[in-house]
Amino acid sequence: MIRVEKLTKLYNKIPAVSDISFAIEKGQNMVLLGTSGCGKTTTLKMINDLIHPDSGEVWLDEVNTHKMKPEVYRKKTGYVLQNIALFPHFTVAENIAVVPRLLGWDKDKIRHRCMELLEKLHLSPDKHYSIYPHQLSGGQQQRVGLARALAAEPSILLMDEPFGALDPITRASIKKDIAQLDEFKDKTIVLVTHDVQEAFELADKICLMDRGQIVQQGSPDELLFKPASAFVSGFFKEQQLLLEYQNTTLHKLFRWLPETHTFVQDLIPVSPEENLWQAFEKLNTIGKTLLVIKDSGGRLKYADHGSLIHAFTTYKNTLA
């Protein structure tokens, strides 16, 4: 877990980050979200002391980091950079092996770990093991960057706009792979992004920042449906509907959906874990159809355009 208390950083006496506090439980993903220059990257870099705060404390797993040598806990903290920054004079394997080597792992163990990570990140151990970073595509490079951060099995992962340099297709494919990887599931992750979509996709908790301060922190739902200020609602305004649909699972609407239906042409079974956006997509592509939703208790509900909109409106009213 990570606890940050009253972090402040001044540049030329002007605060870049002022008085920031948050806590992230073990295994949670937190996203630092905001526009450029809002202090989110500075905040991230203060966690592993790449930038030393002028005041405030950082606790990693209940240890005050300022009482330790930064080199020590940096090795236990994975770090992924926006521009990837692989070491150009190291092979792929050597890049991945950097931290294990610093920790003094034995050669076989390092080799084994490199192979394992290459495979997990959908790179070929045969083809990619001993080539140099410049021989890889951008997407492959960032996969190696992720492998490098994960190599020594850190409990914490810091990611500074890790997908910022990639094209949308590559980005989507890497995110999909990450979502399926065990390596990421139990990690406490702090991720910096300015991409609202990405933030909602990956976050257990979002921390929205502006001008060096936290404007609101909480679950995606809280930010979306209970904005703390006009700034917050303004920040999501352009994508509001899409975000709301994507963040509302059918499970949340289940109680307001009808149990019966009038006529049936095509019945399509969907999982209650799918969101409203996906439900609409299925209805639209297939035409005159009805969705069949079965919850864990075995109960069935039926939905078409009208009933989904109705249920969503009612759901929103309960939140407000």
Q: Determine the interface stretch with another protein among 21-29, 79-87, 189-197, 225-233 (rule: CB under 8 A).
A: 79-87
Contact between 96 and another protein (CB under 8 A)? no
Choice from 2, 17, 38, 79 touching another protein (CB under 8 A): 79
Q: Determine the interface stretch with another protein among 23-31, 85-93, 221-229, 248-256 (rule: CB under 8 A).
A: 85-93
Choice from 99, 118, 196, 206 touching another protein (CB under 8 A): 99
Cβ-based neighbours of 171, under 8 Å, separated by 6 or more: 163
Q: Determine the interface stretch with another protein among 58-66, 98-106, 179-187, 272-280 (rule: CB under 8 A).
A: 98-106
Least distance (Å) from another protein to the CB of residue 208? 25
Binders in 146-205 for another protein, by CB under 8 A: 148, 158
Contact between 86 and another protein (CB under 8 A)? yes
**Binding residues with another protein: total (CB under 8 A):** 22
Q: Determine the interface stretch with another protein among 67-75, 117-125, 248-256, 263-271 (rule: CB under 8 A).
A: 67-75
Q: Determine the interface stretch with another protein among 64-72, 232-240, 256-264, 280-288 (rule: CB under 8 A).
A: 64-72
Least distance (Å) from another protein to the CB of residue 52? 12
Give the number of C-alpha atoms closer than 13 A to the C-alpha of residue 266, restricted to the C-beta side: 10
Choice from 40, 74, 252, 301 touching another protein (CB under 8 A): 74
Type and span of the H or E element at 291: strand 289-294
Q: Spell 163-202 as b/e; 16+ CB within 10 A means b.
A: bbbbeeebbeebbeebeeeebbeebbbbbbbbebebbbbb
Q: Determine the interface stretch with another protein among 29-37, 97-105, 177-185, 256-264 (rule: CB under 8 A).
A: 97-105
Type and span of the H or E element at 278: helix 276-286
Choice from 12, 14, 36, 71 touching another protein (CB under 8 A): 71
Contact between 85 and another protein (CB under 8 A)? yes
Choice from 2, 81, 166, 192 touching another protein (CB under 8 A): 81
CA dihedral 179, 180, 183, 187 (to 10 degrees): 40
Query: Are 77 and 60 within 8 A, CB to CB?
Result: yes
Least distance (Å) from another protein to the CB of residue 293? 46
Query: Are 223 and 236 within 8 A, CB to CB?
Result: yes
Helix (H, G, I), strand (E, B) or coil at 124: coil
| 258: phi then psi, degrees, rounded to nearest 5 | -70, 150
**What DSSP string runs through 49-102?**
TSS--SEEEEEETTEEGGGS-HHHHHTTEEEE-TT----TTS-HHHHHTHHHHH
Contact between 104 and another protein (CB under 8 A)? no
Contact between 89 and another protein (CB under 8 A)? yes
Reading the block at residue 221, the tokens are 């739902």
Q: Residues 1-40: x/- map of binding to another protein (CB under 8 A)?
A: ----------------------------------------
CA distances from 234 to 109, 240, 289, 299 (A): 51, 9, 36, 39
Q: Which amino acid is at 172?
A: A
User: Residue numbers of the site for another protein (CB under 8 A)?
Assistant: 48, 50, 70-72, 74-75, 77, 79, 81-83, 85-89, 98-99, 102, 148, 158
